[in-house]
Amino acid sequence: MVTVAQRAAGVLESNIWLSLWFMLIALVAIGALVAFLGMGLIYAERKIAARFQCRLGPMRVGPHGILQTVADTIKLLLKEDIIPAQSDKIMHLVAPFLALSATVLILAVVPYSPILQVANPNIGILYVTAISGLSVMGILLGGWSSNNKWSLIGGMRSAAQVISYEISATLAVLVVVMFSGTLSLAGIVQSQQAGWWLWRMHGVGIISFLIFIIASTAEINRTPFDIAEGESELTGGFHTEYSGLRFAFFFLAEFINMFVASAIAVTIFLGGWMPFYIGGFEHFNRVMTIIPPSMWFAGKTAFLIFIFMWFRWTFPRLRVDQLMRLEWKILMPIGFINLIAAAVIVIQKFYFFPE
Amino acid sequence: MASNNIKAVKKEERIIGGRKVSVAVVMPRDTPAPIPSALAGLVKGMLLTLGYFVRPWKIVTRQYPENRKTLKFPQRYRSMLHLIFEEDGYHRCMACRICEKACPNRSIKILSQKNQISGKIELDRYIWRMDTCVFCNACVQSCPFDALEMGHEFENAVYDRRLLIFTLNRYAGPSVLRKVESMEARSKMMEPRDRYGGPVPLNGTSMPIVQPLMVKPAQKPGDIG
């Protein structure tokens, strides 16, 4: 497989303009993806939330309200951008872009299909864990620079939460890295040719998948763990003082984050763009092969996003101490035990479909 | 007690209001629930919300202007006050003024007249002020003849509050309960009454269809008619 980055590098020596052209295409594609995801996911969230609560959701702007997000975006663009007095103005202006850029950077390494990936660094997983840690910088900066105690508390909570839950997420990812023997995201997808890591790993996979889902729900600050926002406690948390376009960027970053978390979970646990095969069912497998890989990826990601939304509209928010207890006393020990068990299984070659 | 969040239920007797009452004291759980039951609780909650998600007919929101034709109101929804008209167009109001006395803020004013032929008191105008009505249903419940009901019309907004003062009866004359020898005699005693024609407080101005109020000096200010 050839990624866009490899194509750009390949023609760099012969034709620098073609190389730049490739980079531009990749940039525009990622930008379009961000815009589309922002619109689509916010609409989907509102509709799904409505269905969970016996409501209809947006129904008035366009058929079934599909243009509601467009109208909201225009409204946010036209609103006044308020900068609080005596705040750190430069930091206040930069923070939303930092939060968004951290998530957009991850979109570049996600393998959407065998032929669709912007860049494929051979340390893809490391890159993802490192960059996703960066997103907390935007939230923390936004909270700190707002000159508002609610914002500051929200930012600090978010920092504590993301740093804690990153440990569990990384432990869960490490299990897959051990099994697949590669750090590259495309390589991990290729290693699931014989079966998804979710059930190929002998129970270890399911535990690490659950840990990863819980930890990434916390990392993207979604509802059972949204103490950073905490409407009832902190009015708006880190984005209390933000309005207009900059608030929209925080909002967008939250939803793109959800897509990124789902996409990474799909890539490392659910086989990425690999179709779903059942051994022995030839006809079933042939039908599954007809569906294009990008559709497989989109479908699996949409399913995980639905699960995130399902969590959000079911569970109440955790208290800060409960949140920390869940991570340090429950998830992390389970993650370590899981890692050791996985190491034993890998050394003993004791898993399904060995290659 | 099957609930996860209850540690124990203690039954004891307490003195409440000078009497001994046996009460059940529910003690909430002070330690975290065991992990299996906690996980079961999470799954239970998720199944509940999913149940609502997969059943679109559970949606309670109604799209108002679109569903106007099929709107269904609860039986006890109270809006416009009606005189109940029989199939042949006669109401049952005897002008006894019990509803007028029952009305907490004097939204009802009954004008009666002495019938020239039979010499009996009859309804002239049943005036109902919707702008002051609190829809408490006291008039309907107090009516000894079951002549009133609260209807379901709800789009009652108008641009002039004088249009909120209605004459409920369509004719002045004997009610359906009054014995009259023949239909011809009854129809001789009746005069038509329009919906807005009654005396209403208009502060001296007038509208083509609404006559200004003639305030008699003996009446209290603010009183209708």
A310–B63 C-beta distance less than 8 A: no
Of B46, B189, B222, which is closest to residue B113 (Cα–Cα)?
B189
Our CA-based measurement puts residue B72 at a distance from the nearest CA of chain A, in whole angstroms, of 18
Residue B153: which residues within 8 A CB-CB, separation 6 or more?
B79, B80
Among B19, B35, B54, the domain-final residue is B54
A315–B45 C-beta distance less than 8 A: yes
- The upper half-sphere exposure of residue B138, i.e. CA atoms within 13 Å in the direction of its Cβ, equals 15
Digit-coded pLDDT (tens) for A128-168: 888 888 888 888 888 888 888 888 888 888 888 888 888 88
Q: Using the predicted structure, report yes or no on whether residue A1 has a pLDDT greater than 70.
A: no
Query: What percent of chain B is modeled with pLDDT above 90?
Result: 3
**Residue B39 resides in a domain:** yes
Q: Please give the interface size between A and B, counted as residue pairs whose CB atoms are below 8 Å apart.
A: 34
Helix, strand, coil tally for chain B in percent (to 5) = 20, 25, 55
B56–A51 C-beta distance less than 8 A: yes
How many domains does chain B fold into?
A: 2
Characterize A15-27 residue by residue with b for buried, 16 or more Cβ atoms within 10 angstroms of its Cβ, and e for exposed: eeeebeebeeebe
A53 touches chain B (CB under 8 A): yes
Helix, strand, coil tally for chain A in percent (to 5) = 70, 0, 30
Give the separation between CA A97 and CA B190, rounded to whole angstroms: 81
Q: Using the predicted structure, report yes or no on whether residue A262 has a pLDDT greater than 80.
A: yes
In terms of domains, do B86 and B188 share one? yes
Q: Using the predicted structure, report yes or no on whether residue A68 has a pLDDT greater than 80.
A: yes
Q: Residues of A with CB below 8 A from B50's CB?
A: 310
Give the separation between CA A148 and CA A87, rounded to whole angstroms: 9
Query: Residue B191 — φ and ψ, nearest 5°?
Result: -125, 145
Residue with tokens 């993806």: A33
Query: In this predicted structure, what is the pLDDT of residue A64?
Result: 86
Our CA-based measurement puts residue B48 at a distance from the nearest CA of chain A, in whole angstroms, of 8
Q: Cα A339–A342–A343 angle (5° rounding)?
A: 85
Amino acid at B42: L
Highest mean pLDDT pick, A270-279, B34-43, B110-119, B140-149: B140-149
Helices A89-107 and A16-52, axial angle in degrees (round to 10): 100
Give the separation between CA A60 and CA B205, rounded to whole angstroms: 43
In this prediction the ipTM stands at: 0.74
Our CA-based measurement puts residue B41 at a distance from the nearest CA of chain A, in whole angstroms, of 10
In terms of domains, do B125 and B175 share one? yes
**Residue B162 resides in a domain:** yes
Query: In this predicted structure, what is the pLDDT of residue B209?
Result: 53
A59 touches chain B (CB under 8 A): yes
Using a cut of 0.80, tell me whether the model's pTM lies above it.
no
Digit-coded pLDDT (tens) for B129-147: 888 889 999 999 999 988 8
Q: State which residues form the domain around B50.
A: 6-54
Q: Using the predicted structure, report yes or no on whether residue A245 has a pLDDT greater than 70.
A: yes
- Residue spans per domain, chain A: 83-348
What is the number of other CB atoms lying within 10 angstroms of the CB of residue B141?
A: 10
Residue B88: which residues within 8 A CB-CB, separation 6 or more?
B176
A54 touches chain B (CB under 8 A): yes
**What's B172's domain CATH number?**
3.30.70.3270
CB A112, CB A266: distance < 8 Å: no
Query: In this predicted structure, what is the pLDDT of residue A6?
Result: 72
Give the separation between CA B213 and CA B207, rounded to whole angstroms: 11
Give the separation between CA A301 and CA A265, rounded to whole angstroms: 8
Three-state secondary structure of B33-99: CCHHHHHHHHHHHHHHHHHHHCCHHHCCCCCCCCCHHHCCCCCCCCCCEEECCCCCCCCCCCCCCHH
**Residue B164 resides in a domain:** yes
Banded model confidence at residue A30, pLDDT cuts 50, 70, 90? confident
Of A54, A59, A315, the CB nearest to B52: A54
In terms of domains, do B128 and B36 share one? no
- A-chain residue closest to B48, CA distance: A314
Task: Between B147 and B180, name the one with better pLDDT.
Answer: B147
Of B46, B59, B63, the CB nearest to A54: B59
Our CA-based measurement puts residue A59 at a distance from the nearest CA of chain B, in whole angstroms, of 9
Q: To probe the interface with B, which of A53, A223, A308, A334 has the most B CB atoms within 10 Å?
A: A53
Q: Residues of B with CB below 8 A from A313's CB?
A: 49
Of B133, B134, B135, B129, which is closest to residue B202 (Cα–Cα)?
B129
Q: What is the mean pLDDT of chain A?
A: 84
CA-based R_g, chain B, Å: 29
Give the separation between CA B222 and CA B225, rounded to whole angstroms: 9
Question: What is the mean predicted confidence (pLDDT) over B194-212?
Answer: 58
Alpha-carbon A240 to chain mean position: 23
CB A80, CB A244: distance < 8 Å: yes
Query: In this predicted structure, what is the pLDDT of residue B188?
Result: 78
Amino acid at B26: V
In terms of domains, do B177 and B125 share one? yes
Task: Between B138 and B171, name the one with better pLDDT.
Answer: B138
B45–A48 C-beta distance less than 8 A: no
**Residue B59 resides in a domain:** no
Q: Residues of A with CB below 8 A from B58's CB?
A: 54
Of A51, A56, A59, the CB nearest to B53: A51
B53–A54 C-beta distance less than 8 A: no
Q: Using the predicted structure, report yes or no on whether residue A279 has a pLDDT greater than 70.
A: no
> Which stretch of DSSP H or E encloses residue A246?
helix A244-269
Question: What is the mean predicted confidence (pLDDT) over B24-36?
Answer: 79
B50–A315 C-beta distance less than 8 A: no
- Give, rounded to a whole angstrom, the gap between the first and last alpha carbons of chain B: 64
CA-based R_g, chain A, Å: 21
A315 touches chain B (CB under 8 A): yes
Using beta carbons and an 8 Å cutoff, which residues of B are at the interface with A? 42, 45-46, 48-50, 52-53, 56, 58-61, 63
